[in-house]
Amino acid sequence: MTPPILAVRNLRKSYSVSVGAFAAASHHATAVENVSFDLERGETLGIVGESGCGKTTLARMLMRLIEPDSGEIDYRGENFLAAKGSNLRTLRRGIQMVFQDPAGSLDPRMPVAAIVGEPLAIHEPQLSRTEARARIIETLAAVGMEADALTRYPHEFSGGQKQRVGIARALILRPEIVIGDEPVSALDVSVGAQILELLAKLQRDLNLTYILISHSLPVVAQLATRVAVMRKGSFVEIGPATEVLTNPIDPYAKSLLAAVPEIPA
């Protein structure tokens, strides 16, 4: 069997929380507890759960934006948590993220060319200006943006267009894994649907592997091949999307499914 592209074992993360504004004492709040899963090439793992359940903390650990207290992450068969220096940079470029807030994740002082091209300046500084510009234009075209966007600034775009720029930034390094952290929750329903359709197309065209994080079961249902239900920092159920979304076993997963409103025929 082909080994998984990403293998996660027993990830745990807690934070120190003060008990009062003037108190020296504090306690530890667990954000992620004993999370394990394998991610197969080409699949979409949907991680669903209510706000505050630890989804974003998990995503940031998978990116190594924050470090876990304990656990293991193997990427391409290598120990991702032990990687340093040039090896870490090489591995990091293969896992990119699309953030929740398309406006807040883009620097308002930078034009689109600089925003999308910034990862190239860090990871591929040997590219000439002409080569980098060609890659930026190609990537923008892949997300449905014209070349005239290069010199424009984030405030000149709609929310959906800003998210397309964020997706282009995530794709510019040609990653294998893209983590979408609530990528459509800040958008109108119709615009969010367009972004989900774009993500599906990009997955087919570029052979991407996705981790899609959301509090919305309908959003996850559109793309996920497997679904993990997260509650209070832990996975309470994980399995094929068709099973988890139609016949969940865990009581909390059942309550999430029951809370989805039905549209009368």
| Alpha helices in 124-158, H assignment, sequence order | 129-142
Kindly state whether residue 264 falls inside one of the protein's structural domains. no
Kindly state whether residue 128 falls inside one of the protein's structural domains. yes
pLDDT on residue 217: 87
Collapsing DSSP states into helix, strand and coil, what is residue 90? helix
Among 18-32, 121-135, 193-207, 251-265, which is the least confidently predicted range? 18-32
Kindly state whether residue 185 falls inside one of the protein's structural domains. no
Max distance between CA atoms of the chain, in angstroms, equals 58
Task: Tell me the average pLDDT across 135-151.
Answer: 95
* Total count of domains within the chain: 1
Kindly state whether residue 126 falls inside one of the protein's structural domains. yes
Kindly state whether residue 256 falls inside one of the protein's structural domains. no
% residues pLDDT > 70 (the chain): 94
Instruction: Say whether pLDDT at 209 is over 70.
Output: yes
pLDDT on residue 215: 87
- Beta bridge mates, 16: 28
pLDDT on residue 68: 95
Nearest to 174 by CA among 136, 200, 211, 201: 136
Reading the block at residue 49, the tokens are 């759960």
Kindly state whether residue 81 falls inside one of the protein's structural domains. no
Kindly state whether residue 161 falls inside one of the protein's structural domains. yes
pTM of the model: 0.91
- Beta bridge mates, 226: 45, 240
Kindly state whether residue 122 falls inside one of the protein's structural domains. yes
pLDDT tens string 64-119: 999 999 999 999 999 999 999 989 989 999 999 998 888 888 899 999 999 999 99
Nearest to 31 by CA among 13, 11, 48, 8: 13
pLDDT tens string 111-138: 999 999 999 998 999 999 999 999 999 9
pLDDT on residue 42: 94
Which residues constitute the domain of residue 152? 106-174
pLDDT tens string 10-67: 999 998 876 655 555 467 788 999 999 999 999 999 999 988 899 999 999 999 999 9
